Structure 1
Amino acid sequence: MQLFYNPNISENSKEIAFDKEESRHIIKVLRMKAGDTFKITNGTGLFFNAEITSANPKGCLVKILSEEKQPPLPYELHLAVAPTKLNDRYEWFLEKATEIGITEITPIICDHSERKVIKPERYQKILQSAMKQSLKAYLPILNEAISFKEFVNSEIASDSLKCIAHCEETDKKSLKSVLVPKKKFIILIGPEGDFSSEEIALAKKSGFIPVALGDSRLRTETAAVVACHSVAFVNE
């Protein structure tokens, strides 16, 4: 199934036009023509069956034939992950987390962060591409980068299970031991240098449970994917 993304499509749409970049991909790269059909998602849970009516590489037009609703994930997962020194590693995390199943992502700037500037436009494209590749109808929410302190002190739903994964040799529970199905999860993943002791203490004071992701010391992006998969696995 070929899936495309268009945020402007809604339940009332009868016809939709793609921008020049996407139109060129549809007509020139995929060599689709008038009468060909494919699916579109708006990233909020809807699939639309569409048929090309004008195969213009500068502005492809399609008519909407039908629509269907994809059920949401049985859980809500918000990962707050420090940007990695190498940007492509963070992009890899975004891609894999979207494929596995995640609802929200916040880049957090920590005491030991080596990268403090992100490229949200680039990250959005990674999320959109991963959503289409994995045939999902929900685009994860990407929040603006925020400091660790601001995030931990922000208003968080009281029914969320809050965890902080860190490497300090202190009392921690295994992540799998605290996970329960059909829950709202918020998990903090630190930078290459880990969270500072002060950050860990602040998180614990704010109700975050210290957790371990296994016996191995993991890279930031690997830890984030392991956490994402663990939540998805307990909800299967």
Structure 2
Amino acid sequence: MAVPMFYHTGQFRENEELVLSEDTSRHMVQVLRMAPGASVELTNGTGSLARTVITKADKKRCAVSVEAIRTDKEPASRLTLAVSFTKNASRNEWLLEKATEHGVRRIVPVLSKRSEREKFRYDRLHSILISALIQSRQTYLPELSEPLSFEDMIARSTGTSRKLLAHCIDGIPRRPLPEALEAGSDAVIMIGPEGDFTPEEVALAMDAGFQGIHLGSNRLRTETAALAVCAYFNLINYAD
């Protein structure tokens, strides 16, 4: 049985005693019924995993002692997913959860001309990322950016080797995703809103070095297209 894993901010040091948050403490003591001497793993979301032992089981201030620390290498290939969120909050939250499970490194809400949602509960979305990180037993938490306008996202994507934009506009060049992605390369991939990016936005992106892509002949929802991109990127880079 896997050792229970939780999120804890900050850096770890061997033999250090840590006091955990009230939420984590409550879950450990009241839900999992953990007692002193039980093993717990902690990650800080920046690549470190601490093997700890409970020294004080308190539902508000659980304490653990750090026995060993593992530092994972940052993934060699990093995906930035820039997506125009839908007006349905639950669909956006589902996407964040699944994108995290697939190891996306950065998520940027993009405000395009046809975007349906412009305001976000950052604390709520961040907590979803943490839950998905723990569920998938990873040690690198995705960065959740503040919303960026379409133009700002394009301007801030300079220097990335693969810059891709999914669209459904006939007459504007598009390549299948497998032809446009290359294993071992960082990528920025933009997914538009339900009404797609406008032709003017696509042209602006192309002028800035983006390539148009498609994900097959079926018309996909925003969150479905975004998840397909994450899954394929993860598959070609980390399938072994």
TM range (shorter): over 0.9
TM norm structure 1:
0.96
Tell me if the contact between 2:12 and 2:66 (Cα under 8 Å) persists in the aligned partners. Answer: no
How much does 1:75 deviate? 0.8
Distance 1:110 1:159 in 2: 21
Aligned equivalent of 1:78: 80
Residue among 174, 177, 181 paired with 1:175: 177
TM norm structure 2:
0.94
Tell me if the contact between 2:6 and 2:41 (Cα under 8 Å) persists in the aligned partners. Answer: yes
Q: 1:189 to 1:13 in 2, by over 3 A?
A: farther
Backbone CA RMSD of aligned residues? 1.2
Distance 2:119 2:233 in 1: 28
1:35 aligns with 2:61: no
How much does 1:53 deviate? 0.4
How much does 1:214 deviate? 1.2
Q: Deviations over 1:176-233 (max 9, x none)?
A: 1011111110000011111111111111111110000111111000000001111111
How much does 1:152 deviate? 0.9
Distance 1:47 1:21 in 2: 19
Distance 1:168 1:157 in 2: 24
Runs of 5+ consecutive residues of structure 2 not aligned to the other structure: none
Tell me if the contact between 1:83 and 1:118 (Cα under 8 Å) persists in the aligned partners. Answer: no
Distance 2:96 2:29 in 1: 28
Residue among 57, 60, 81 paired with 1:58: 60
Residue among 123, 126, 132 paired with 1:124: 126
Distance 2:143 2:182 in 1: 23
Aligned equivalent of 1:15: 17
Aligned equivalent of 1:186: 188
**SS of aligned partner of 2:202:** helix
Aligned equivalent of 1:217: 219
How much does 1:74 deviate? 3.0
Aligned equivalent of 1:229: 231
Aligned equivalent of 2:114: 112
Tell me if the contact between 1:106 and 1:146 (Cα under 8 Å) persists in the aligned partners. Answer: yes
Distance 2:65 2:158 in 1: 40
Distance 1:217 1:101 in 2: 25
Aligned-pair identity in percent equals: 39
Question: 1:160 is matched by which residue type in structure 2?
Answer: S
